[in-house]
Chains A and B, each alone.
Chain A
Amino acid sequence: MNDIKVTKELIEAHGLTEEEYERIIKILGRELSYTELGIFTVMWSEHCSYKSSKVHLKRFSTESPWVIQGPGENAGVVDIGDGLAAVFKMESHNHPSFIEPYQGAATGVGGILRDIFTMGARPVASLNSLRFGLLEKARHKYLFNGVVSGIAGYGNCIGVPTVGGEIYFNDTYNGNILVNVFNIGIAKKDRIFKGKASGIGNPVIYVGSKTGRDGIHGASLLASHEFDEKSEEMRPTVQVGDPFTEKLLLEACLELMDKDLIVGIQDMGAAGLTSSTSEMAGRAGTGIEIELSLVPTREAGMTPYELMLSESQERMLIVAKKGKEKEVEDIFKKWDLEAVVIGKVTKDGILRVKDRGAIVAEIPAKALSEEGPAYNRPMKRPDYQDEIQRLDLSKILLPGDYNDVLLRILGSPTIASKEWVYEQYDHMVRTNTVILPGSDAGVIRVKGTDKALAITVNCNSRYCFLDTFLGGALTVAEAARNIVCSGGKPLAITDCLNFGNPEKPEVMWQFSEAIDGIREACSKLKTPVVSGNVSFYNETTDKGIYPTPIIGMTGIIDDVKKTMTQWFKREGDMIVLLGKNEEDLGGSEYLYIIHGLEKGSPPSLDLNREVMIQQVCLQAIKQGLINSAHDCSEGGLAVALTECCISGKESIGAEIDIEGEGIRTDALLFGESASRILVSVKENNLEDLRRMAEAKDVPISVIGKVWGDRLKIQLTVHGSRFTAIDLKIRDLEDQWRGSIRRYVGDV
């Protein structure tokens, strides 16, 4: 092991703490080589080891009868019947996307797709959850445009539809945008593949693109440190995605998995060869020995350190059955890809790396993959917490013109139609997209069955900032409501937890609160956590983002014909509100856009009532009682009603009449009380729906009917009746549909 000498400075430059270094020495019983230093650094980085989050993530409930695979593998797996399973996960690619938006987002899509197809599933749909600074700033227009193009560029080329998602714009993301990508695939239930290196003597095979010097210390370091001026120097760590090669890799891997040739497979994602070898051996309790001179390279003269740490994209590591090497090679050759045996599975539990016969690293695999450090970092409730929750409504003046308020909210990019975005995504390829983007959830039929999957991603980070526990719970509740409004029964979640610097006690407190909020809602809604990802250090020059725990949820629709959409269908249908309006203005989009305030407590959440409302809605859909269902969330009742009128193929008006019950007018129209669903129903089904709701103690009120070409909302507040909103549907639609196009200057 004669390479660069490991000095104190070098250890420090790698970001290892003194204790961590001492632990390594204790594990090895000797000094470590330069290559080993690199290996330990990436495996023990925040990104790969989850060292700050592990102790908290354990609190999640991860089991239920339909869970086939919980966290710890490349992706989570749930049983969907008919001998099939849904495989899904979400991941972040925040830091690379901030530096190079197109390629950062593109390689993010590539990474999550590999996580799905390594499990033996064919990816069938993607979603994404994006956060940017305000579009008034040229920089954020550029980032927004670049990220959307990158997602389109990769997803469209590989032929996996992007069927929905969500985008928020807020100053908190000025220095750190978020790019979280979700993918779901379908596999045969009894043909799920895992990242395990079992079977002593089995060959270890490298497949896919050649290895270059790209991304060395990319994910592991970029995602484990804050941004500062030095980020400029880290630049070459961003990679270029190659969706064409990944398409070949996808087809070759699925063809391979159809035959009985392999025992384990894993994506070479963050920390490439290092993480795939040590994790596969670690999970199986075996060792792996590889010879680096056999690794296909793109550049000459790469050192063992570089080869082990390279994060070149579109590569996989396979453990095949002994004697099947030739058959594996032939399949990859058919798809013009390389497959090279670079080592074998050993029984001693050691990751042994050789370079032309000489050992350059020799480390117990489990020490890397499982025995990394775990910190119970100090936590502290932020001092500002009380102040931001304080909201004196008496100081907030009622607006004079509610028409104007509604139009302004509809035009804000967070609320406005994302048509400009999803028209750039191929959302129809694979011909499974039953509900096109723009409804509460994406719906994908499962060919060969009567079923469909409903998928959604969600998070209101303003709620999470104001009250992290409640925000976490509300996020899960809204995700489930979105699934239910599409006719699905929620099954399980994946998460992508985006936070600031975990070494700050306030950030760690937020993280812990979010976990508890998510956990509570998940247990009530019976949606276990099956996979996930943590992204810390979303900070720039000491300023962290709002806590943004994004939830991706999957639900099942038993009869694809009973799929529901959010828009009104028929003139004369009655408009019914399930749930209750309260005076909830805290953390609302209205306060932010109209009054410039991000204050107050988020809407309260009664999880028992939430469960009941969702049950009523789902039952009504299954029995064919209702014609539309829409979750009422950001922008409140007025925005939800507008969306019901204008988000479908044919717009239609509505006449609304609401009894205020002493609630302020602005809160009635734009407040964001939780657990509310707007449905439209044929008049003669109304009584059945009412009985159904009353049986479960769910508040139900008829608030108007689908009619005409205007949205007219009349209110009765303190005994006097007046028209608060009266606008032409066409004007509402122009404002809502055209807003983002106007912001990005594409008109």
Chain B
Amino acid sequence: MIKAKVYVTLKKAVLDPQGKTIKQALEHLGFKGIEDIRLGKYMEIAFNGKSEAQAESDIKEMCEKLLANTVIEDYRFEIEKGE
């Protein structure tokens, strides 16, 4: 079985209001030296009966079409081979 881990985050130049607010909250709690926080989405997708190459091209298409809005988001993914 092939498993993919997909990460979707806001593009670097795009404001991340949640990241900003969480950073401020942590600083209020006394945590120091935080340069930046970016919040994102993490997804695990399990495939059956697919080759690694197929899975890779599928995930890319899924990200482009649905999982990320590339207007404001970047994505990356890792593929793992399970048992």
Contacts and interface: CB of A to CB of B under 8 A. Distances in A.
Contact between chain A and chain B defined by CB under 8 Å = yes
Interface of A: 99-100, 103, 209, 212-214, 235-236, 238-245, 298-299, 312-313, 336
A414 B41 CA distance: 35
A212 B16 contact: no
Nearest to A312: B15
A293 B16 CA distance: 23
Contact of A213 (B13, B16, B24, B72): B13
B71 A240 contact: no
Of the four ranges (under 10, 10 to 19, 20 to 34, 35 or more), the interface on chain B belongs to 10 to 19
Contacts of B11: 236
B72 A238 contact: yes
B72 A298 contact: no
Given A240-B10, A336-B24, A212 B15 contact: yes
A214 B17 contact: no
Contacts of A103: 72
Contact of A238 (B17, B20, B71): B71
B10 A235 contact: no
Contact of A99 (B10, B16, B20, B71): B71
User: Which of A240, A242, A299 has its CB near the most chain B CB atoms (within 10 A)?
Assistant: A240
B71 A236 contact: yes
Contacts of A239: 14-15
Contacts of A100: 69, 71-72
B14 A244 contact: no
A209 B15 contact: yes
Interface string B1-21: 000000000110111110011
A212 B69 CA distance: 20
A155 to B, nearest CB: 15
Contacts of A244: 17, 21
Contacts of A299: 13
A300 to B, nearest CB: 11
Contact of B13 (A99, A214, A313): A214
A736 to B, nearest CB: 32
B71 A235 contact: yes
Contacts of B21: 244
B17 A240 contact: yes
A213 B78 CA distance: 30
Contacts of B10: 240
A245 B17 contact: yes
Interface string B67-83: 00111100000000000
17 contacts: A99-B71, A212-B14, A213-B13, A214-B15, A235-B70, A236-B11, A236-B13, A236-B72, A238-B72, A240-B10, A240-B17, A242-B17, A243-B17, A244-B17, A244-B21, A245-B17, A299-B13
Nearest to B13: A213
A245 B10 CA distance: 18
A31 to B, nearest CB: 31
A242 B10 CA distance: 14
Contacts of A240: 10, 14-17, 72
Contacts of A241: 17
B15 A242 contact: yes
A415 to B, nearest CB: 31
Contacts of A243: 17
B17 A298 contact: no
A618 to B, nearest CB: 45
A709 to B, nearest CB: 45
B16 to A, nearest CB: 7
Contacts of B20: 242
Nearest to A298: B15
Interface in B11-70: 11, 13-17, 20-21, 24, 69-70
A100 B70 CA distance: 9
Given A242-B20, A299-B13, 18 more contacts: A99-B71, A100-B71, A103-B72, A209-B15, A212-B13, A212-B14, A235-B70, A236-B13, A236-B71, A239-B14, A239-B15, A240-B14, A240-B17, A241-B17, A244-B21, A245-B17, A312-B15, A313-B15
A209 B17 CA distance: 10
A336 B16 CA distance: 17
Nearest to A238: B71
B27 to A, nearest CB: 11
A283 to B, nearest CB: 29
A584 B81 CA distance: 68
Contacts of A214: 13-15
B15 to A, nearest CB: 5
A585 B27 CA distance: 66
A236 B14 CA distance: 8
Most chain A CB inside 10 Å of its own CB: which residue of B13, B15, B17, B72: B15
A434 B15 CA distance: 37
A100 B14 CA distance: 13
A244 B24 CA distance: 13
